[in-house]
Amino acid sequence: MIPNPILKVLSTLRLRNVKNLLMGGQACVFYGAAEFSRDTDIVILSEPANLKRLASALDELKAEVIAVPPFHEKYLIRGHAVHFRCRHPDVYGMRIDVMSVLRNVDPFPKLWERRTTVETDGHGSYDLMAIPDLIQAKKTQRDKDWPMIRRLVESNYFEFGGNPSPERIEFWLKELRTPELLIEISKKYPKANKKVSMMRPLLKYACAAMFDELSESLFEEELAERKKDMEYWKPLKDELEKIRRRKTI
């Protein structure tokens, strides 16, 4: 169940017609891969009219910027996140993180085309980042994201494994991080394994049921993504430090 403060944030964004997609922990809650998340993370269409609508929604929530950078389009389109804290009594203390560009993730218009829309009991509908896009967004340097990726793909596999489509099979082979399940699905669909292994070479170990080698390769794959994320964020963090210094002068 989604806590009421989260629903208040989402409904305010919806009523103000803010074009956004829920991502992060709350999206994982909707997908059944997490039980709780404190924050609301959204990716938005970074265009003047939409940013104006977002500003109006944030005003209604009495949301204030709590860190650098300030709320400005130029920072969003460079890949920064803008962080807010809500002061409205219904959502007091709720944090909202806003982004418009993410590493290794398609531009917003494509994310919007692939979005997942969910209905809640008595609270309307909400747009989420599709699971494949959410997984890409979660390939970060943070420890907490990798178990979540694993649970997201596992949850999808257990839900749809009895009714697989070619697209789902390819998705599972690309993103599953559970050795046992990768071996299982590779045994069921060897042709799909052969196709996807050109993009993900570690699948050769899944096809051969080489558990130890597969586990080690999955770990190395994770380390490589963590490194890419660190390299991506380094210049952005340097820019944030410069902004902080200017504010203290």
- Give the pLDDT confidence of 233-244 residue by residue, as tens digits: 999 999 999 999
End-to-end CA distance of the chain: 46
Amino acid of residue 37? S
Q: Return the pLDDT at 3.
A: 54
Q: Return the pLDDT at 232.
A: 97
- Report pTM: 0.92
> What average pLDDT does the segment 70-84 reach?
96
> What average pLDDT does the segment 78-103 reach?
96
Q: Return the pLDDT at 249.
A: 53
Burial call 25-58: b when 16+ CB within 10 Å, e when fewer = bbbbbbbebbeebeebbbbbbbeeebbebbeebb
With 90 as the cut, is the pLDDT of residue 41 above it?
Answer: yes
Q: Could you give the angle at which helices 145-160 and 179-188 cross, rounded to 10 degrees?
A: 30
* pLDDT per position as a tens digit, 135-183: 999 999 999 999 999 999 999 999 999 989 999 999 999 999 999 999 9
User: Structural domains in the chain?
Assistant: 4-136 (3.30.460.40), 145-231 (no CATH)
Q: Return the pLDDT at 1.
A: 44
Lowest mean pLDDT among 110-119, 121-130, 175-184: 121-130
CB-CB contact of 77 with 46 (8 Å): yes
CB-CB contact of 149 with 169 (8 Å): no
With 80 as the cut, is the pLDDT of residue 121 above it?
Answer: no
* pLDDT per position as a tens digit, 196-232: 999 999 999 999 999 999 999 999 999 999 999 999 9
pLDDT above 90 coverage of the chain, percent: 84
pLDDT level of residue 188 (50, 70, 90 thresholds):
very high
Contacts 24+ apart (CB under 8 A), 129-138: 129/21, 129/22, 129/23, 129/27, 129/43, 131/31, 131/156, 132/171, 132/175, 133/105, 133/106, 134/23, 134/27, 134/28, 134/31, 135/175, 136/102, 136/104, 136/105, 137/23, 137/43, 137/102, 137/104, 137/105
Averaged pLDDT of the chain: 93
